[in-house]
Each structure stands twice: as structure tokens, then as C-alpha cells.
Amino acid sequence: MKLTLDGLTKTYKDKVALDDITFSFTPGIYGLLGPNGAGKSTMMNLITDNLVPTNGQILFDERNIGELGSEYRRRLGYMPQQQNIYPDLSLRRFLFFMASLKGLKKAESEEDISRYVRMVNLREVLGKKLGTFSGGMKQRALIAQALLGNPDILILDEPTAGLDPKERIRVRNLISEVAKDKIVIIATHVVTDVEFIAKEIIMLSGGKILRSGSPSELLRELEGKVRNIHIKDEDLPQVNERYKVSNITRDENGVIARIIADSYEDTFANETVRPGLEDLYLYLNGA
Ligand SMILES: Nc1ncnc2c1ncn2[C@@H]1O[C@H](COP(=O)(O)OP(=O)(O)OP(=O)(O)O)[C@@H](O)[C@H]1O
Ligand SMILES: [Mg+2]
């Protein structure tokens, strides 16, 4: 199974939101990282066939998704960024409604709904109205909806937005649990959402792919460039000016700044540390 973006471009009036992207997805989890306006949602709307490309095409197993039409859309699960959820519908009615849009038969719907509400831990509230749900419950309801019909391609646009740490971890574990044999693409600002579960990371900015690869491949670039430097409070302004600072902590002797620097010539006591994806994000997207 392969999903290919082939010279994919999307322009809104004179704004290029996605700029000539070529990339192939195979089963596994992909983390799509990038700042606001990078083009993440645009890419997802194109993949889910909710937008038409200005240029280029998307191929599913070498066939154009426009030509595949509903045959393709049936194999797709999509959790959009906006929580367009119907407050007066019960979870049960919402899921039946979404299942019918996906063309599931009644018996299949029942089977899938009971399976996925259990998985997202919402079985007890099937009869409750969505309007009464907390943010985390809504996100999980939307994930359950995306899973109906057991799609081959799962597109999740900021699935953990607005969640507390416990819910975030729960959603993350859920995603890696259901990801088997699927192409899963997760857009997020939160590096730790995907750092440890993604097979590949795509760093998007200004509609272009800045980097892509496995987390360990990507981190090689920062080898030796991330260090903790031991400074005094009064040194902070100049350190901030000179380096990208990804973290600041304190100990009894003063300040420890985690910096990313191509070269380091200052005299502050320092040691290199193991880079993380957050460092790379900062390195590529500025401080
Ligand atoms: N319907 C639209 N009309 C005009 N411009 C748009 C439209 N949708 C998106 N854009 C622009 O396209 C660019 C990419 O937007 P997109 O929503 O894809 O970014 P994103 O990476 O999802 O951002 P965020 O992290 O804020 O969700 C932005 O500059 C945005 O302003
Ligand atoms: Mg978005």
C-alpha cells in the first residue's frame, strides 16, 4: 500500500500554501510537524479529497485519487482540526450518522461503534449528548469516528490539541495501538506527540518539506550541536541573542541554558547533550 504526493501544490489566490511537494507514504505513523500556517491542514485536506490541488496529484497505489473517488474515500478515516461536533446529538447517534456517511451497513455500524467506543473508553457515555463532553472526550469521540470502517489511511489533524497531559498520553497510546498496517498521518505542533511513535517525521514550513526521515536519521544533523552551558543570570540576554535556546533551568550555581549552535566558541562551562526532535524543530524554525 502506497500513497504518493506527486508535485502537489495548493494556492489560495496568491498565497502558496503547499509548494510542489513530492513524498510517498507506506504503512506506519508519520508525524507532520510545522508552525502555524506551514500547510499541514492544507496537505491533509488534499489527501482526504476535501480540496482539489492547484497542481500535481495524489496517487493511491499508483492510481489518481480523483479517479478512484468513493472507492478511495471509503478507505479513509479523517479527524479534522476544527471540532465540528453536533452538541445536541448523543455519541451513539453521532457515530451512526458518521457510519452511514461512510456507507457502512447497519450491522457493520453496530459492530464498529461498539468496538471503537470501547477502545477510546467512551462506552459508558454512548447515550450522552456531545455538548456535555469535555475537550478530551470530544477528541476521543472524533478519533472513534475516524476509525469507523477500519480505514487503511488515517488522517489526524492535531488530535491532542487542548488536552491535558494525561489525556494527551492516552490519545497517543491509542493512536499507536490502532496504527498497525495503516498509513497514519498526524499533524501536530507538539513534538512529543510523535517523537517516539512515528516511523518518519516530516518537517513542513512555508508549504515546503524542510526535512523528512526517521527521528534518529533526522537527529544526526544535530550531533554535537546541542549543549548545556552554565551561565549567570546576567549572561542570559547575550546568550539568547547569540544562540537558539531550547530550554532554561537553574541549579544552585546559576542558570543552565540548553543551546543549539553550529559552532561554539564561548568560554562558559559546557557539555554537549543528546539532541531531541524539539531541538531540531527550533533549529529549523527559528527561536
Ligand atoms: N481557505 C483559505 N483561504 C486562503 N488562505 C488559506 C486558506 N486556508 C489556508 N490558507 C493559508 O494557507 C497557509 C497554510 O495554512 P494551513 O491551514 O494549511 O496551515 P497549518 O500548517 O495547518 O497551520 P496551523 O498549525 O495553524 O493549523 C496559511 O498561510 C493560511 O493562511
Ligand atoms: Mg492546521
pLDDT tens digits for 150-159?
Answer: 999 999 999 9
Distance 42 CA to ligand 1 centre (A): 6
Q: DSSP label at 130?
A: G
183-188 and 28-33 strand pairing: parallel
Ligand 1, atom 31, residue with closest C-alpha: 37
74 & 198 share domain: yes
206 & 227 share domain: no
Indicate if the pLDDT at residue 252 is higher than 60: yes
176 & 36 share domain: yes
**Dist CA 258 CA 270 (whole Å):** 10
| Ligand 1 atom with minimal separation from the 13 CA | 4
Distance 247 CA to ligand 1 centre (A): 29
Q: Is 78 helix (H, G, I), strand (E, B) or coil?
A: strand
| Ligand 1 atom with minimal separation from the 158 CA | 27
pLDDT band at 265, cuts 50/70/90? confident
64 & 154 share domain: yes
**Dist CA 76 CA 62 (whole Å):** 16
pLDDT digits (tens, 9 = 90+) for 95-106: 999 999 888 999
pLDDT digits (tens, 9 = 90+) for 2-54: 999 999 999 999 999 999 999 999 999 999 999 999 999 999 999 999 999 99
Return the ∠ at Cα 273 (arms to 252 and 225), rounded to 5°.
Answer: 120
Ligand 1, atom 3, residue with closest C-alpha: 12
| Ligand 1 atom with minimal separation from the 41 CA | 22
Per the structure, the count of domains in the chain is: 2
* Boundary-marking domain end, from 177, 195, 219: 219
Read off the pTM.
0.93
Rg (CA), the chain: 22
Distance 286 CA to ligand 1 centre (A): 20
Nearest to 26 by CA among 63, 56, 1: 1
User: What is the torsion angle, in degrees rounded to the nearest 10, for the CA atoms of residue 190, residue 120, residue 82 and residue 103?
Assistant: 130
Distance 64 CA to ligand 1 centre (A): 24
Contacts of 246 (CB under 8 A, 6+ apart): 226, 258, 259, 260, 278, 279, 282
> Residue 118 in contact with residue 10, Cβ under 8 Å?
no
